[in-house]
Amino acid sequence: MKAAPISLSGFSIFLGERPLVKESSFAPAPGSSSVVIGPTGVGKSVLLKTIAGLLPARTFRLGGAMRVQGIDAYVNGRKTGHAHWSNIMNRGLVFVPAESAQAMNPALTLEQNLKLLAPDSRPLIERRLKGHFGLDFASFARLYPDEVSGGELQRITLMVLLSRRGDLVLLDEPTVNLDRNLRWRFISFLNKEILPARDKTVLMASHDLDFIRALRLDDVYSLEKASLQRLDGLPSANGFQKPEAKKSPAEGLAIRDLSQSYFKRGIFGERSFKAFTGLSIQFGRSTIYGITGPSGCGKSSLIKAILRLLDGTKGEILLDGEDLVRIKPRERGRDPGAFRAFRRKMAVVQQDSRFAFFPDRRIRDSFRHIAELQGGPGSFDREELLKHLAKVGLSSVHLDSHPRALSSGEMKRIDIARALAAKPEVLLLDEPFAHIDFETRARVMRTISDYMAQNPTILLVVTHEDFDLRYFVEKSYDFPELVS
């Protein structure tokens, strides 16, 4: 009889004194597919990383026993030795992290990465990429990871990792950076090629109820209050009542004939390519604009162009009657004096908020540095920050943590509170609700809407998720249709 792929017995995970998983027992059947859902920051990803043997021992404390592939992985809360884990890996354990692109070595080409990660699977990967994601791997093979767009890299990495040999697959929030179209293709891929075969045991952590609902999964588990419970069905997602945004006669953000080009390294040296051209659009105040579109179509580039963090921008970006492109035509690592006032008016929440604060320092220290930079404590209202933190379901205790000790969802919420506390006139949100469960998401949306009710803000949201478009965005644009 085949050993249970994962078997937890009285297993616990503590972050400091806080229990994430407490004396839980869990053993999915071989060949089954399960998902763990739960509020943001509850420990879903931590559980998956523990099973994959990737949890940093200095941050977390473990208890109880776990067997992976029938081999002792943790005994009395201690990770077993190299020999045990080598056996587990040899039997086949595939971990797909939330930021799957990070699995790629930046110093190797994609072809070299593929040889390293899935040496015998190139034909399979090529077929899957072409068939499900419409990508021709051969045209990317010689490029380095930093030479392809985030979306392309995400797709390639997902297929490389999911085509590795191994009968235990752990997927951590696999849809976080996929656009709507690709998300449906990915669902179709999982439903056609991974889940029905039943030769692999699949365990995933996800907050995305729309995604989970569309998959052919056997079991749903909920991780809440440190307890892992099997559910009979999926909970429903609810929206919220939005307050009316404050109106203002002031002009919004006008973009005229904007184009953005990049330099890309190729066989014959560097060549320029266009991220987008001919973008003309007006974003008024007090409206929530949504930008959707496939990964790699230039949505994130638009945000960087508005923030004036890119070279190669042509056209006009008008804010308060001033052309930001004329004031700051190039990014040289510092802002010219004339641009600094505009820098203070804009705030961004980037896709991965773990990188919005200094590494290795407490988040409180990052805030202190930001306040110092922006001209003293008065420029960064501490009370305002604590107010927004409370609204998004966090407290000042979280400020004493290091970024590595918080979940992606918690980091995202702190980043949103940070952006709102800066009282921006222009708020640019790039996938702001990724990593956040639907219930908490509604709470964060309400916080942003409350800010809009007090401040006539220009708000752009790049999003892939139906939930955001359904409950938050007021006017949505498909980016490829906006550009020529």
Partner 1 sequence: MKKLYRIARALVLLALLSPLGLAWLPPDRLPLRLEPAFQAVLQSSFRQLSITLAATLALAALLTVVLGYASVLWQRFGRTGASILKAVESVPAILVALFCYAPVSGYLARHSSGASQTVSLLVFILAATLTLLPEAVRGVAIPLGDLYHRKYSLSFRSYGFTKRRILAVLMGSHVMRGTLKRIAAGILLKTLVLDCSFGFIIQLGFGSYGTPAHASPGALIAANRDALFEGGTPALFWLPSLLLVAISTSFLLTLGEREEAAA
Residues forming the site for partner 1 (CB under 8 A): 46, 49, 54-60, 78, 106-107, 146, 304, 307, 309, 331-335, 340, 343-344, 346-348, 350, 352-353, 355-360, 370, 373-374, 404-405, 415
Nearer to partner 1, 121 or 366 (CB): 366
In the chain, what's the furthest Cα-to-Cα distance?
Answer: 73
Cβ 216 to partner 1 shortest distance, Å = 31
Per-residue buried b or exposed e for 274-306, using 16+ beta carbons within 10 Å of the residue's own CB: ebbeebebebbbbbbbbbbbbbbbbbbbbbbbb
Q: Is 94 exposed, middle or buried (0-12, 13-18, 19+ CB in 10 A)?
A: buried
Nearer to partner 1, 193 or 381 (CB): 381
Contacts of 374 (CB under 8 A, 6+ apart): 344, 380, 422
CA-CA distance, 33 to 195, in Å (whole number)? 7
**Rounded to 5 degrees, what are φ and ψ at 315?**
110, -160
Cβ 82 to partner 1 shortest distance, Å = 12
Nearer to partner 1, 93 or 195 (CB): 93
Cβ 48 to partner 1 shortest distance, Å = 11
Nearer to partner 1, 210 or 352 (CB): 352
CA-CA distance, 67 to 390, in Å (whole number)? 39
Cβ 181 to partner 1 shortest distance, Å = 24
The amino acid at 355: F
Nearer to partner 1, 106 or 235 (CB): 106
Nearer to partner 1, 90 or 105 (CB): 105
Cβ 404 to partner 1 shortest distance, Å = 5
Q: How far apart are the first and last CA of the chain?
A: 59
Cβ 357 to partner 1 shortest distance, Å = 8
Rounded to 5°, angle at Cα 20 from 45 and 89: 45
The amino acid at 52: A
